[in-house]
Chain A
Amino acid sequence: MATPPGGSSSGNWSYGPAQGHGDGSSNPYAFPSVPHHRQPYAPQGPGPSPYDQPPAPRIQPVQPQRRTPEPAPAGATNNPLVRPYAMTGGRTRPRYQLAIEALVHTTAQPHQMQGQLPEHQRICHLCREIKSVAEISALLTIPLGVARILVADLAEAGLVAIHQPGGDENAGGQPDVTLLERVLSGLRKL
């Protein structure tokens, strides 16, 4: 898989300026400040946007509530601590299973980044030089699972290209012989 997944996205599920068709009044999946109630959990694999479906609570909230849940104010709270999965809207899984070593690079022009989440912008900025998902996580100090989701968002929005590592599907994704030979040759030349 060397191409960004889902080029023909029907789902308008980036967090950009709300411009969705048929969002109606509620637009329940605008970036929530606290991930409770509805869980916009995206099922694995390509398919119609889950966000167009009636919200069915597929999974429980990621972060159990310590206090009685109360409606979060729309604005920012004073609490400087953002729980890790808040910036993903509570999703714990990306739509695409990104390898930890999958390579990411930005294809976006600066003007395309306007209106994106700060985290998305930081990733795009970082990935002007090719970086792995692991490096994005480490360099931006965001947890690995969160980085995966944010990168998948950007790919969906067409703002980054992803190079998933090649692998032999018949061998459980293990590298094929050609790749091993190239790695061996490369190591010997070091």
Chain B
Amino acid sequence: MVAGGFGVGKTTFVGAVSEINPLRTEAVMTSASAGIDDLTHTGDKTTTTVAMDFGRITLDQDLILYLFGTPGQDRFWFMWDDLVRGAIGAVVLVDTRRLADCFPAVDYFENSGLPFVIALNGFDGQQPYNPDEVREALQIGPDTPIITTDARHRADAKSTLITLVEHALMARLR
């Protein structure tokens, strides 16, 4: 899973490593999801769609990795729950100029127990804060990797994914 606030570069990140152009799937939220989301004040509107971009990496003849960017609207938790099951882990992309945007994602993954790494996406190639400062600001424990990345570049995105899978593996072996 690739999570983070609106406009933080999730789809860019997915596109950088995906072998296909990122695709978009939509889930229709209907009255079946009443109770999850409040639709009572939207009048005639009985459905809401939530879009999710994703990409694919074929790792072996019989092994395909899918990268799902979580829906930008954090309130669609039901989609996140859907994605968490079977997921290897999550990359939480962070724009350090808007640090608070990543709080919901960090909270979510801390609660769900899914291994995650925090990747500081350097806009304009700048990294105004170093990982230690961000760790302090986010109150992230020492076990969770915090790295810098550039979501536009394949090598950076790939290296971020490797860090995540290593972290997930360590978490499983621990």
Contacts and interface: CB of A to CB of B under 8 A. Distances in A.
A147 to B, nearest CB: 8
Nearest to A167: B86
Interface stretch (B18-26, B122-130, B133-141): B18-26
B46 to A, nearest CB: 5
Interface stretch (B55-63, B91-99, B100-108, B144-152): B55-63
A62 B32 contact: yes
A99 interface: yes
B86 A190 contact: no
A64 B62 CA distance: 43
A184 interface: yes
B70 to A, nearest CB: 12
Q: Tell me whether chain B's interface is mostly helix, strand or loop, or mixed.
A: mixed
Interface of A: 59-60, 62-64, 66, 84-85, 92, 99-101, 103, 130, 132, 134-135, 137-139, 143-147, 165, 167, 171-177, 180-184, 186-190
Nearest to B85: A173
A64 B31 contact: yes
A183 B82 contact: no
Nearest to B19: A190
